[in-house]
Structures are given as structure tokens and as C-alpha cells.
């Protein structure tokens, strides 16, 4: 989930998935825990690990490539 400009990942969240419509639902205690984590601003001390995510700039990429190179 996004918290401002930062992406936060919560692992091991139990969820019920409806077989017919694929709607997701959480047990009340799970939803409460997620809301509390969000309200506390995801304190760094509670993180179990970090994930590095590469960010690409399409404009910069296109300005360095020709149309034929992009298609490859």
C-alpha cells in the first residue's frame, strides 16, 4: 500500500477470497491490525526487511533509443 510517496508492503496477511467474484475480505482483527500499522506510520523498527525497487523514466529511456531499438 502507498503511504504518501512511499510504498509499504505487509506480508503474511490472511485473506478470504470469494470463489465467484474474487472479492477479498479480512477478519476484523486482521483489518484492525492493518489500520493500526497504517495509523502508526509504519515505524522502521517494525520492518522485517527492505525491498529495493528499480524506478524507470520512460521519457529518458525513449530519448536514448530509436523506435526500432525499443521494439526489440
One pLDDT digit (tens) per residue for the chain, 72 residues: 898 888 999 999 999 999 999 999 999 999 999 999 999 999 999 999 999 989 899 998 888 866 555 555
Of the candidates 13, 40, 8, the one whose C-alpha atom is nearest the C-alpha of residue 29 is 13
Instruction: Provide the pLDDT for residue 29.
Output: 97
Instruction: Provide the pLDDT for residue 71.
Output: 57
Of the candidates 1, 14, 11, 70, the one whose C-alpha atom is nearest the C-alpha of residue 41 is 1
pTM (2 d.p.): 0.67
E-strand ranges in the chain read: 2-3, 6-7, 16-17, 24-25
Amino acid at each position: 500500500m502507498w503511504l504518501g510517496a512511499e510504498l509499504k508492503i505487509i506480508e503474511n496477511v490472511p485473506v478470504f477470497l470469494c470463489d465467484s467474484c474474487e472479492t477479498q475480505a479480512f477478519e476484523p482483527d486482521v483489518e484492525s491490525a492493518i489500520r493500526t500499522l497504517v495509523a502508526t506510520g509504519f515505524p522502521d523498527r517494525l520492518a522485517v526487511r527492505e525491498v529495493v525497487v528499480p524506478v524507470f523514466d520512460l521519457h529518458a529511456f525513449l530519448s536514448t533509443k530509436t523506435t526500432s531499438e525499443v521494439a526489440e
